[in-house]
Chains A and B, each alone.
Chain A
Amino acid sequence: KQEVTQIPAALSVPEGENLVLNCSFTDSAIYNLQWFRQDPGKGLTSLLLIQSSQREQTSGRLNASLDKSSGRSTLYIAASQPGDSATYLCACIQGGSEKLVFGKGTKLTVNP
């Protein structure tokens, strides 16, 4: 059974800092891995999707990497801004499954 863990549970940084959010998964046979953002009282918004054959994906100041063999993914946020404050969730689809399994998220606060 796939389990997704995100560390740390919460992170507070000053504006402008580069930061890394971590995600690990127990079964490396994944179909894809996705990063989402959730603002308070809102639904989730997809940020980046990495297929199992890919190593990384980039969108603006965001870069997500995937290392299937070690069961890890990271989300790198460059030059953080207060508007980046949100909860970031990692999720993956197991190979042979259609079920998206989520981590518990990292709550990021970027202080002005």
Chain B
Amino acid sequence: DTAVSQTPKYLVTQMGNDKSIKCEQNLGHDTMYWYKQDSKKFLKIMFSYNNKELIINETVPNRFSPKSPDKAHLNLHINSLELGDSAVYFCASSQDLRGTPFFGQGTRLTVV
């Protein structure tokens, strides 16, 4: 199926650990994103990449580092996890920088 897929779907980890979330899209899109949805369901952009180039970096702590090995993949690595990092992280892609984003199913990260 054509889609945006992210893994894992659920991630429970202890404070201080380092973890990664992977995202892949097979839609042939040029732009990929990471969004964070907090406990109040507020959805906010974290990063966007266009053709593997970082376009948007929204005042996210340096502990968060996105990596785009190619146009179809955008991974998110998080160092030294904190309780406040608990949220649902969504990957998305769009045809271009202002196109309609297609979202993955989300990764629910719980830091204990």
Contacts and interface: CB of A to CB of B under 8 A. Distances in A.
A87 B40 CA distance: 12
Contacts of A42: 105-106
B98 A98 contact: yes
Interface residues of B, number: 22
A98 B33 CA distance: 11
A45 B100 contact: no
Contacts of A43: 4, 90, 92, 103-106
A34 B42 CA distance: 16
Nearest to A32: B98
B90 A102 contact: no
Interface in A39-54: 41-46, 49
B76 to A, nearest CB: 15
B98 to A, nearest CB: 6
Nearest to A47: B100
Nearest to A89: B43
Does more than half of chain A's interface fall in helix, strand or loop, or is it mixed? strand
Contact of B41 (A31, A49, A93, A105): A105
Interface string A80-98: 0000000101000100001
A105 B100 CA distance: 18
Interface in B32-55: 40-45, 48, 55
A102 B100 contact: no
B64 interface: no
A100 interface: yes
B100 A49 contact: yes
Interface in B82-112: 90, 92, 97-98, 100-106
5 contacts: A42-B106, A43-B92, A98-B55, A98-B98, A99-B45
Given A89-B43, A98-B97, 4 more contacts: A42-B106, A43-B105, A44-B92, A99-B56
Q: Which 9 A-B pairs have the closest CB atoms?
A: A43-B103, A98-B97, A102-B43, A44-B103, A46-B100, A43-B105, A104-B42, A43-B104, A43-B106
